[in-house]
Amino acid sequence: MMYKKIVILDSVIIYPEHRDRLNKIAEEVVEYNTCETEQEVLDRVRGADCIVSCWINIPNKVIDENPQLKTIAFWTHAFEHRINSDYALKHHIYVPSIPDYGTDSVAELVFIGLLQLNKKLSDNSQSTNNTRTLEEEIMTNVSDNVRKFNKNWQANLTGSWVHEYIKSGHLKITSPDEFLEETLKGLTIGLLVNNDLRENLLKIASKGFQMNPIYSLGDLPHSLDIAYRPIDNLLRESHIIIYDSQTISEDLKDKINQGKYISTVDVANVKIAGQSIFKKRLGIIGLGRIGSRVAQIASEGFDMRVAYYSRKRNFDLEKRYNLEFKPLDDLLSDSDIVTFHLPHVGAEGFVTSKMIDMIPKGTVVVNVSVGSIFEDQDYLLNRFQEDDLRGYLDVYKTLPPRMKLRDRKDYLVATYRLGWRTKSTIGLKTHKLITRLEEGLNK
């Protein structure tokens, strides 16, 4: 069973592997980068029995004029504002979306942003908990290379917004090779460093980010978290190499320098600066898929004391990660770091100015979920000052307020929609879309 005609209305990213699947379920696939008017939408979908959209609205008239429609699918998780889904269902049209595709890449970004932010902060405390570790500095370098964090931060401050280029149809991506960014989870990290450092890196890389560490040039007690490889195998298998140029041969250094790795970090050249995020009090608002993954990374990777507020308590996760459920007011007023993980629909304006006032000076505020959760975005931004809040933002109500972000760059790290943009996240997203299309054929 096949669709006669699939019409893709905007810049859905389709890799060659996706196109092979599409061609098996459709006699014809027609693609557009974007649509400017409702009439353009009506003209382009005429005769289609399947429509795919991400940012383009689907008016009721599309359904009225196309009784053959079987499926209207959305290459996104938040689609309720794009279509009257009840009207579509009354006409027996399947309306799927993709609720889960970026859990790992978004959750990781919380800690990548925190590592970058804390690198900027001077450490005036003698507390052991506040001293930045070598392992954190190494992972700051690794994650910057893997996610191109600083490159995206600078692009945001200059108004070079890849997300908007794709959304507006000005940038067409057809291959994973066109993305520079990758998700940390699952990457193989080769460790050519001393045993003490290897053990400590495992906590962040393996237990926290769920990377795949391997080692060579030494001996470690047996562990489920790491495996030995002969050196040539390690060099072939690794995406990332951590090494110490003071302890390895010149020949091995040459092999590393000639390799095509996502990231290489020479421990001998790493300079420690800033504050640690280990053992901080993390307050999570919203314990859904992403909030739960944040709790796991915080607890298992950075020994954080994690509290949360959510509409429903999760007793299983409380036990697994030693989480504490707190009332919202207490969480806002008694955390070193507050991170928001609220849904795109139903939480608009949830965070009021009064709630922002509850957050004490010195607190770090993170939002990588959705910009519309703040009742007054400017009110929040105005608190990022020298003697007030610090923070990391990846989402905004509309386009990033570039000038305000630039004015606050010493206190606020700010990327734009970096959470969803990795090779694997986008690849998974489109595979999930095609699976939904296949389901529509059988409805």
Instruction: Supply the CATH number for residue 222's domain.
Output: 3.40.50.720
pLDDT at 66 over 80: yes
Q: Distances from the Cα of 215 to the Cαs of 114, 198, 199, 259, in angstroms?
A: 27, 8, 11, 17
Q: Report the range of poorest mean pLDDT among 108-117, 216-225, 249-258, 344-353.
A: 216-225
Residue 420 belongs to a domain: no
Q: Are 291 and 355 within one domain?
A: yes
Q: Are 384 and 348 within one domain?
A: yes
The 3-state DSSP class for residue 339 equals strand
Answer positive or negative: Cα dihedral of 352, 418, 20, 45: positive
Q: For the residues 380-404, what does the mean pLDDT come to?
A: 96
Tell me whether residue 405 is exposed, middle or buried, using C-beta atoms within 10 angstroms of its C-beta: 0 to 12, 13 to 18, 19 or more. Answer: buried
pLDDT of residue 98: 94
Greatest extent of the chain over all pairs of C-alpha atoms, in Å: 72
Mean pLDDT of the chain: 94
Q: Are 300 and 258 within one domain?
A: no
Q: Would you state the structure tokens that stand for residue 212, as one six-digit string?
A: 């795949």
**Which residues are CB-neighbours of 64 under 8 A, at least 6 positions away?**
none
Q: Are 64 and 93 within one domain?
A: yes
- Residues 116-160 have pLDDT tens digits of 999 987 544 444 457 899 999 999 999 999 999 999 999 999 999
Residue 275 belongs to a domain: no
Q: What percent of the chain has pLDDT over 90?
A: 90
Q: Would you state the structure tokens that stand for residue 441, as one six-digit string?
A: 């054929």
Residue 83 belongs to a domain: yes
Tell me whether residue 19 is exposed, middle or buried, using C-beta atoms within 10 angstroms of its C-beta: 0 to 12, 13 to 18, 19 or more. Answer: middle
Q: For the residues 401-430, what does the mean pLDDT come to?
A: 96
pLDDT of residue 344: 84
pLDDT of residue 221: 76
Q: How many domains does the chain have?
A: 3
What are the residues facing 241 on neighbouring strands? 190, 264
Q: For the residues 325-330, what does the mean pLDDT come to?
A: 97
311 C-beta neighbours (distance < 10 Å), count: 8
pLDDT of residue 300: 97
Q: Domain range holding 258? A: 133-269
Q: What is the pTM of this model?
A: 0.95
Edge-to-edge order in the sheet of strand 212-215: 227-228, 212-215, 188-192, 240-243, 263-266
Q: Are 61 and 170 within one domain?
A: no
pLDDT at 49 over 70: yes
Query: Phi first, then psi: what are they for 360, rounded to 5°?
Result: -70, 155
Distance CA 264, CA 193 (A): 13
Residue 109 belongs to a domain: no
Q: Point out the domain boundary residue: 217, 249, 269.
A: 269
Residue 339 belongs to a domain: yes
Q: Are 261 and 158 within one domain?
A: yes
Q: What is the 3-state secondary structure (H, E, C) of 26-82?
A: ECCEEECCCCCCHHHHHHHHCCCCEEEECCCCECHHHHHHCCCCCEEEECCCCCCCC
Q: Are 216 and 163 within one domain?
A: yes
Q: Are 86 and 156 within one domain?
A: no
Residue 328 belongs to a domain: yes
Q: Are 325 and 308 in contact (CB under 8 A)?
A: yes
Tell me whether residue 16 is exposed, middle or buried, using C-beta atoms within 10 angstroms of its C-beta: 0 to 12, 13 to 18, 19 or more. Answer: exposed
**Which residues are CB-neighbours of 136 under 8 A, at least 6 positions away?**
115, 118, 204, 276, 277, 278
Distance CA 416, CA 152 (A): 7
Residue 419 belongs to a domain: no
pLDDT of residue 123: 45
- Residues 204-228 have pLDDT tens digits of 999 999 999 999 988 877 777 899 9
Q: Are 250 and 285 within one domain?
A: no
Q: Are 242 and 191 in contact (CB under 8 A)?
A: yes
pLDDT of residue 126: 40
In a 13 Å sphere around the CA of 186, the CA atoms on its Cβ side amount to: 7
pLDDT of residue 225: 83
Q: Are 298 and 380 within one domain?
A: yes
b/e map 316-344, b = 16+ CB within 10 Å: ebbeebebebbeeeebbbebbbbbbbbbb
Q: Point out the domain boundary residue: 269, 303, 320.
A: 269
Q: Point out the domain boundary residue: 269, 304, 328.
A: 269
Q: For the residues 45-54, what does the mean pLDDT come to?
A: 97
What are the residues facing 53 on neighbouring strands? 74
End-to-end Cα, the chain, rounded Å: 12
Q: Are 137 and 271 in contact (CB under 8 A)?
A: yes
Q: Are 188 and 71 within one domain?
A: no
Q: For the residues 34-61, what does the mean pLDDT come to?
A: 97
pLDDT of residue 129: 54
Q: Would you state the structure tokens that stand for residue 380, as one six-digit string?
A: 């929040």
Q: Are 302 and 408 within one domain?
A: yes
Closest by alpha carbon to 322, among 339, 336, 340, 303?
Answer: 303
Q: For the residues 303-319, what does the mean pLDDT come to?
A: 97
Residue 165 belongs to a domain: yes
